Amino acid sequence: MKKILLFFAALAGFATSAQDFKTLTYFVNDSTKLELDLFVPKEKSKEKLPLLIHVHGGGFSGGQRKDGHHICGYASQHGYVAATITYTLYMKDKNFSCGGQVPEKVKAFQIAANQLWQATLYLIKEAGKYNIDTNKIFISGSSAGAETVLHAAYWDRNLMALYPQKLPADFKYAGVISGSGAVMDLNLITKQNLLPMLFFHGSVDPVVPYDNAAHHYCPTNASGWLMFFGGYSIFKHVAELQGTARMVTYCGGGHEYSDEMFAKDQAGVVSFMDRVLKKEHFYEHTVVTTGKKGDKDDKYGFCD
């Protein structure tokens, strides 16, 4: 494992106020209308461009697609078409913590993942109009959005489908970027379906476990008890599968770091995608000291 120690520095966020985007409807049925904001590079390209689709966080009960404007605006200025999507906030007015119900939690993941698949399908159909290379589609998400992209990448799309319109059977995403995300079952990720991944996660996140633990660290008798395998757990799994991944650990950091790279280190996100498109193979761990109290409680030895 390549381990790099960096000192935390506050970076200025990328301003997207001057960035143009189009709001498009990507899905409509009798009960639902979903939109996305599409950012397209201003400079024309003779070659087809890679695409990034971003899913905002908010516990499946809050957040909005404009939360993804910082990363999408930056990516579009660096050669990517980028979209940030609206999806159904299924857990609004419901308990998403220990007092909730596991089937409801799973349903929230399933709806969001299906709607991400629909956004992907829409942009594949519109690829000619927006000069998109459909073999180079990345997905990214923060918190609930990260849980969405991870499950969208690795679930059986036929088994978990909610809508009749489906992605091509042989379609695979080019890579996944997860900000404080997790999967419910590590066995979903196999040698056969493994994708390049970038993870960033606070090491003492009390909401979505950094390693493997129950969601919200719920007691085993809780109605909402659900095992989660967080960024570091998946990162270790990738090593066993000899895959490509980069992990950024915010030592002592909590769930407030779920949007950190999307808001403050967009260059790191784009660099990851660029390297994947160059077919680089890497397995790297970057450790960032935050100076927070949790640093001294680090059980992994990263902050020693």
| pLDDT tens digits, one per residue of 33-74 | 999 999 999 988 889 999 999 999 999 999 999 999 999 999
pLDDT of residue 241: 98
pLDDT of residue 44: 86
pLDDT grade, residue 5 (50/70/90)? Answer: very low
What angle do helix axes 102-125 and 144-154 make, rounded to 10 degrees?
A: 70
Exposure of 280 by Cβ count < 10 A (0-12 exposed, 13-18 middle, 19+ buried)? exposed
Q: How far is residue 282's CA from residue 244's CA, in Å, rounded to a whole number?
A: 5
pLDDT of residue 7: 33
pLDDT of residue 291: 84
User: What is the pTM for the complete model shown?
Assistant: 0.92
Q: Assign 3-class secondary structure to the chain.
A: CEEEEEECCCCCCCCCCCCCCEEEEEEECCCCEEEEEEECCCCCCCCCEEEEEEECCCCCCCCCHHHHHHHHHHHHCCCCEEEEECCCCCCCCCCCCCCCCHHHHHHHHHHHHHHHHHHHHHHHHCHHHHCEEEEEEEEEEECHHHHHHHHHHHCCCCCCCCCCCCCCCCCCCCEEEEECCEECCHHHCCCCCCCCEEEEEECCCCCCCCCEEEHHHCCCCCCCCCEEEEHHHHHHHHHHHCCCEEEEEEECCCHHHCCHHHHHCHHHHHHHHHHHHCCCCCEEEEEEECCCHHHHHCCCCCCC
Cα angle vertex 80, ends 79, 83, to 5°?
Answer: 150
pLDDT grade, residue 248 (50/70/90)? Answer: very high
What contacts 18, CB < 8 A, 6 or more positions away?
Answer: none
What does the pLDDT look like over 201-244, one tens digit per residue?
Answer: 999 999 999 999 999 999 999 999 999 999 999 999 999 999 99
**Residue 262: φ, ψ to 5°:** -65, -35
Q: How far is residue 227's CA from residue 76's CA, in Å, rounded to a whole number?
A: 36
Exposure of 30 by Cβ count < 10 A (0-12 exposed, 13-18 middle, 19+ buried)? exposed
Q: How far is residue 41's CA from residue 38's CA, in Å, rounded to a whole number?
A: 10
Token output for 183: 């999967």
**Residue 98: φ, ψ to 5°:** -65, -25
Percent above pLDDT 90 for the chain: 87
Q: Decide if pLDDT at 17 tops 80.
A: no
Average pLDDT over residues 84-101: 96
39 and 72 Cβ atoms separated by less than 8 Å: yes
Average pLDDT, the chain: 92
What does the pLDDT look like over 107-129, one tens digit per residue?
Answer: 999 999 999 999 999 999 999 99
Domains and CATH numbers, the chain: 2-297 (3.40.50.1820)
